[in-house]
Structure formats: C-alpha cells, structure tokens
C-alpha cells in the first residue's frame, strides 16, 4: 500500500499570514494515464471532511483561491496564502493512484495563534 506522510503534524498561524504543509508519498502518484491522483481535504471540528483540491492543484468549485496545491511525483504541498479563522481544522492528503486501497495521510492540524 502507498503510505502518505504529512508534515508538520501541527501548525499555528497568525490570521492573514501564509501557511504551508507537506505530503510525501512512498511511491510516485503519477498514474499511467498521465494524471497524478493526490487530493487534499479539510475536516473542521465536528464536521465531515470536505474536498478542497483534486489531482494536485485543482480547486473544487467554491474553494477560496487562497488555497493552492502543488507538487509532483512523491512530494506535494498545500498552501494557504492568507489564513483566516475559518481555515482551522485538520488537513488530510489522500492518494488514489494505487487502489485499493485509497490511503490518507495522518493529517496536519492547523490552529490560529
């Protein structure tokens, strides 16, 4: 199975400042179809997860443009250009390249200073 490692596990950010988090995969997530199946989710406290980014860098409709995803192969990054209070929660990356199973990273917890 593909293992995803996320760093840091916890991040404390001042509102209006940027935030960045990493997701590293044990294998390349580039599929033979040319797509890279790396996704980012945010789970706010007491809520279901919500999909933010699909295939590395594509924002789901309605996701603010302060969220951006980048990376390739085994190394990926989610950046928030200016953190807002509503961005607090746990961010998970997930791979869909080698399935089953889909696998999630352990999460990065973001809170506000």
Partner 1 sequence: QLVQPATEVRKPGASVKVSCTASGYNFNDYYLHWVRQAPGQGLEWMGRINTATGGTEYEEKFQARIAMTRDTSVSAAYLDLSALTSADTAIYYCARGGRLYTRGGFDVWGQGTMVSVSS
- Binding residues for partner 1 (CB under 8 A): 31, 35, 37, 39, 41, 43, 48-51, 54, 60, 90, 92, 94, 96-97, 99-107
Distance of closest approach, residue 99 Cβ to partner 1, in angstroms: 7
Parallel/antiparallel/unpaired status of strands 108-112 and 10-13: parallel
Cβ-Cβ contacts under 8 Å for 41 (sequence gap 6 or more): 49, 50, 51, 52, 91, 92, 93, 94
Return the number of the residue (31 or 82) whose C-beta is nearest partner 1: 31
Return the number of the residue (22 or 54) whose C-beta is nearest partner 1: 54
What DSSP letter does each residue of 64-100 carry, written as one string? -TTEEEEEETTEEEEEESS--GGG-EEEEEEE-SS-S
Return the number of the residue (16 or 100) whose C-beta is nearest partner 1: 100
Distance of closest approach, residue 15 Cβ to partner 1, in angstroms: 26
Distance of closest approach, residue 16 Cβ to partner 1, in angstroms: 29
Contact yes or no for 38/20 (Cβ under 8 A): no
């Amino acid at each position: 199975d593909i293992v995803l490692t996320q760093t840091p596990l916890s991040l404390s950010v001042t509102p209006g400042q940027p935030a960045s988090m990493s997701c590293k995969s044990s294998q390349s997530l580039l599929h033979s179809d040319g797509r890279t199946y790396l996704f980012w989710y945010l789970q706010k406290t007491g809520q279901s997860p919500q999909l933010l980014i699909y295939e590395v860098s594509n924002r789901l409709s309605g996701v603010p443009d302060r969220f951006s995803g980048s990376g390739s192969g085994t190394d990926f990054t989610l950046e928030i250009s200016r953190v807002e209070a509503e961005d607090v929660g746990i961010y998970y990356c997930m791979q869909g390249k080698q399935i089953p199973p889909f696998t999630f990273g352990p999460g990065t917890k973001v809170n506000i200073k």
